[in-house]
Amino acid sequence: MHLFRAPNCTYYTRICYPKSLRDMGFPFDVKISLLTKTRAIAKKRNLRVILAVNQAMDSITTETVPGEFKSSLNKQIDAVRLSFSDVSAEGVPLRFATKGKIEVRGPNLAVKQCEQVPLKLALEMFISSKSKEGVRTLTVQQLHQRISHFIDAIKPDFTDEVTSACALGYRDLLLDEGRSHKTNKDYLAASSQLFKWCCLMQFTDANPFALITLKQHSLVEPNSARTRWQKRDLQALFSHEEFQKAENDLKWATLLMMFQGLRPSEACQLRTADVIKQEGLYCIKINNGGEKQRVKNASSLRILPIHQFLLKHGFIELVERANKAKRVQLFSYIPTNQNEDWSRQYCQYFGRMQNRMGMKPGSRPTPYGFRHTFIDELKQHEVDENIVAELVGHKNQKITFGRYGKKYKISLLKKYVDVISYDIDCTRLF
DNA sequence: TCTTTAATACCTTCCTCAGT
DNA sequence: ACTGAGGAAGGTATTAAAGA
């Protein structure tokens, strides 16, 4: 019997049976993994597991059937592991020394003393704590909305009233209400987050949502979740008078998505200064240098050579005109409402235009679909996944640091953006 | 043990509807 | 046309489990 340590504090305990037992027909050994914050906690927990296994082994007689013993041992080990949930990550017991009295301190919260914490108060405190984490306001708003949905449905008054049975009942209710699988998962995750926080605050002993799952998997294939634009859709769009008479901003933003694979918001927030020259080639720099300009995440930062189609139809001239007019933003789109949503105006104009074209919401391809189309076209042309990932700003974990870590040359990327060709007639567009 | 793959948690953005 | 609200999906990081 020995302990060894694996990276990131996963501790494995491997228990090898003594030879005498192996001779009796116990050809297996037991492997237990424990994930903890510190080595000290892992050691303590391992000792408890080993104790349980030792006790079980002592009960082995010549009558013991190996298969049955294995399953009963597994149950005992699980029971020990489950008992760890009464201990927080730092190894501090969650139970109070003075049970029932709760003391809360926070910058904006007076010291409170009460027998139980009202759930709505806990929610407000959680939300206020969450909004300090530097996440987008919409994220916090969405969390609030989804947890409120749970509270309104089940109507518990206090944090410690919520049992796993309540949580399960709520799950069933969600399943009846007919949202998508992923949305249901996110609803459950929101409430789970609240109770996780309640555990840390010592408002509750356990997270009632911890073991609640949805089981049935989403039937939607990940790569067909949103429909791409087929070539005939693109041709129909280009030859439709609604698109031809649309504002230039809308046309150009659309072209940027089609030919460069930009996200709608990335196209809408482009500045004139983001069109640069590198290695002698015109490029678009996706960055967060401007006022209110932002990127989705670190891997979104990238420099893209501009596609020949855009060059041919006057993209550089457009930028130069904007420069001459001393415009900071390339387009007239501005981040609207408190969410500072850059793509909203564009997406709404585009959606209304599609309505006029007779394309029905829900079944029509959407602006984000241009990005799917871009990626899919490159995929169909057997372009290396790493190249595509870099063009669209995805993180690619397959590239090993130090070996393939260098960025591709702009001239190489240029060769690949130009692979895009939709073969559409655009003589009347410009 | 070490590596690879699958599942989950969490955050951000996009899409649509209804009210004004 | 603009907003708020809520549903839906995209995407990364972390964690669990399986494989070699």
Is any atom of nucleic acid chain B found less than 7 Å from the CB of residue A118? Answer: no
* C-beta of residue A192 within 8 angstroms of C-beta of residue A329: no
Q: 3-state DSSP helix/strand/coil percent for chain A, to nearest 5?
A: 50, 10, 40
Protein residue at shortest CA distance from C1' of B12: A296
pLDDT 10s digits, A208-230: 887 777 765 545 444 445 577 88
Nucleotide nearest to A342 (CA to C1'): B13
What's the token pair of residue A270?
């482009």
Q: If we measure between CA atoms, which residue out of A271, A269, A283 comes closest to residue A328?
A: A271
Question: Which residue places its CA closest to the C1' of nucleotide B14?
Answer: A368
pLDDT given for residue A416 in this prediction:
83
Give A292-330 as a DSSP string. Answer: T---SSGGG-EEEEPPHHHHHTTHHHHHHHHHHTT-SBS
Amino acid identity, position A391: L
Number of C-beta neighbours around residue A330 at 10 A? 25
pLDDT per residue as tens digits for the range A33-69: 554 544 445 545 555 555 555 556 556 666 666 666 6
Give CATH for domain A119-222: 1.10.150.130
* Rounded CA separation A35/A4 (Å): 13
Collect the ranges in chain A with pLDDT lower than 70: 1-115, 215-226, 338, 396-409
Strand B and A213 CB separated by under 7 Å: yes
Domain range annotation of chain A: 2-115, 119-222, 231-417
Per the structure block, which two tokens stand in for A257? 């998505």
State the DSSP string of A320-338.
HHHHHTT-SBSSS---BTT
The predicted structure's pLDDT at residue A89: 35
Strand B atom within 7 Å of A362 CB: yes
Residue A4, CB, strand B, below 7 Å: yes
CB of A150 closer than 8 Å to CB of A191: yes
pLDDT of residue A82: 55
Whether residue A364 contacts residue A236, with contact meaning beta carbons closer than 8 Å, is answered with no
Count CA atoms closer than 13 A to A376's CA, side-chain side: 16
Q: Is the CB of A336 under 7 A from strand B?
A: no
CB A429 within 8 A of CB A251: yes
Residue A61 is predicted with a pLDDT of 62
Neighbours of A370 (CB within 10 A): 26
- Residue A139 (CA) to nucleotide C3 (C1'), in angstroms, measures 18
Residues 150-189 of chain A sitting with CB below 7 angstroms of strand B: 185-186, 189
Domain A231-417 fold: hpI Integrase; Chain A (1.10.443)
Q: Give, in Å, how far the C1' of C6 lies from the CA of A226.
A: 19
